[in-house]
């Protein structure tokens, strides 16, 4: 099977969907009957591009201010997509929201329905495009892949489609996420002024849906001596409407007990995950929650809400909190400091839970969906 995979998102710094495309493409290369042709927005390639860092394009913020910019870029991408390689394409896989036009079988991956539940987390122009194109893309697709059963069931109800149109393909965990000895990560930790197991880590784009204000408020309610010994590190790019919590963020940064790291290289983030006391992940809505899985695979306990699909990932290994109650998060953080037996139990449970997920499994399920779509 020759599969066209839209990999345009890899031109941007890699967050959730970017990591999905890169890891899935790598794992699909080991499926004997799958050959990938990667569309990167302006042409085709057989290899993945290097990961971009923030600042890769100075035009993106400007384009958001130009009326019709999304539609114009879409038109240009369709023209480039139509100039396909000489070899025939058997199936087109769109991994991010809405597919381009294709005259053969199409599969899409629907990671979440954030635009329905939290429309204020999307720039207005992008939200209009999602609302204009997503439903059509979902109905045109022969099969819809989802990362979780939660999203499959939500999409079935919202789009009024039968369950057999959906295939759940849980995500995997990259090899760089594994337990590490303190001396192996000492250099990266020292660069950020922390010691192994003596800091909490938040991972995610700085946007309201990630609910990072809860982490700031909970950490601020810990005793001052605890906050000084166990600072809160936040790793992630500035996102849409970051200004909604800028006042609290500025106050927390001024205290010296919270540090904003920005977007980190993949290996640095993996080392920080492996050295944290716990990952604090108070998100309000996730289609999967990849950082939760990555933390567990790294031997780091996770504190998370029970919202959306995240319990499918963490299972019994998670320390669950209320999404809008900072005291429950504060108490969970304090217990992981004070109770070493509980901490070790959470670590072991997370390591065992993470073994249930792999990119190889995700690729196998995805390749099976390709075959099914072509047969139908």
- Can you give the CATH number for the domain in which 203 is found? 3.40.50.2000
pLDDT tens string, the chain, 376 residues long: the values are: 999 999 988 887 777 899 999 999 999 999 999 999 999 888 898 888 776 655 544 445 555 566 677 678 888 989 999 988 778 899 999 998 789 999 999 999 999 998 888 787 677 777 887 877 888 999 999 999 999 999 999 999 999 999 999 999 999 999 999 999 999 999 999 999 999 999 999 998 888 789 999 999 999 999 999 999 999 999 987 765 555 556 777 777 878 899 999 989 999 999 999 999 999 999 999 999 999 999 999 999 999 999 999 999 999 999 999 999 999 999 999 999 999 999 999 999 999 999 999 999 999 999 999 999 999 7
- 342 and 201 belong to one structural domain: yes
- 88 and 101 belong to one structural domain: yes
343 falls within a domain: yes
- 260 and 341 belong to one structural domain: yes
- 195 and 160 belong to one structural domain: no
- 297 and 330 belong to one structural domain: yes
86 falls within a domain: yes
- 62 and 155 belong to one structural domain: yes
Total domains in the chain come to: 2
42 falls within a domain: yes
- 334 and 313 belong to one structural domain: yes
- 154 and 233 belong to one structural domain: no
Q: What is the per-residue pLDDT for 104? A: 93
- 10 and 87 belong to one structural domain: yes
- 200 and 306 belong to one structural domain: yes
50 falls within a domain: yes
- 205 and 110 belong to one structural domain: no
177 falls within a domain: no
Give the structural domain span for 214: 182-354
Q: What is the per-residue pLDDT for 156? A: 97
- 71 and 193 belong to one structural domain: no
Per-position b or e across 8-26, b if 16+ CB within 10 A of its CB? bbbebbbbbbbbbbbbbbe
């Amino acid at each position: 099977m020759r599969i066209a995979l839209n990999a345009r998102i890899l031109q941007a710094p890699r967050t959730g969907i970017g990591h999905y495309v890169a890891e899935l493409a790598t794992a699909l290369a080991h499926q004997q009957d799958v050959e990938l042709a990667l569309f990167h927005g302006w042409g085709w390639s057989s290899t993945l591009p290097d990961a971009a860092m923030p600042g890769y394009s100075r035009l993106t913020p400007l384009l958001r201010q130009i009326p019709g910019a999304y539609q114009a870029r879409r038109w240009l991408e369709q023209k480039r997509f139509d100039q396909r390689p000489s070899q025939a394409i058997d199936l087109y896989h769109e991994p991010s929201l809405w597919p381009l036009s294709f005259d053969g079988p199409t599969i899409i991956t629907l990671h979440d329905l954030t635009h329905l539940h939290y429309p204020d987390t999307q720039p207005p122009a992008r939200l209009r495009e999602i609302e204009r194109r997503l439903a059509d893309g979902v109905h045109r697709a022969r099969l819809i892949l989802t990362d979780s059963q939660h999203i499959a069931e939500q999409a079935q109800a919202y789009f009024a489609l039968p369950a057999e149109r959906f295939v759940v393909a849980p995500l995997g965990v990259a090899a760089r996420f594994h337990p590490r000895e303190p001396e192996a990560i000492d250099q990266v930790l020292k660069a950020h002024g922390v010691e192994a197991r003596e800091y909490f880590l938040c991972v995610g784009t700085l946007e309201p849906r990630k609910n990072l204000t809860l982490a700031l408020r909970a950490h601020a309610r810990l005793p001052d001596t605890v906050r000084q010994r166990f600072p809160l590190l936040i790793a992630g790019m500035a996102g849409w409407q970051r200004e909604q919590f800028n006042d609290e963020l500025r106050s927390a940064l001024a205290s010296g007990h919270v540090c904003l790291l920005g977007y980190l290289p993949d290996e640095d983030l993996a080392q920080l995950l492996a050295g944290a006391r716990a990952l604090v992940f108070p998100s309000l809505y996730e289609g999967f929650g990849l950082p939760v899985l990555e933390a567990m695979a790294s031997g780091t306990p996770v504190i998370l809400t029970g919202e959306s699909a995240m319990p499918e990932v963490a299972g019994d290994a998670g320390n669950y909190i209320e999404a809008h109650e900072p005291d429950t998060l504060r108490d969970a953080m304090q217990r992981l400091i004070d109770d070493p037996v509980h901490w070790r139990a959470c670590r072991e449970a997370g390591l065992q839970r993470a073994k249930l997920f792999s990119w190889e499994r995700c690729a196998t399920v995805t390749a099976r969906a390709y075959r099914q779509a072509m047969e139908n």
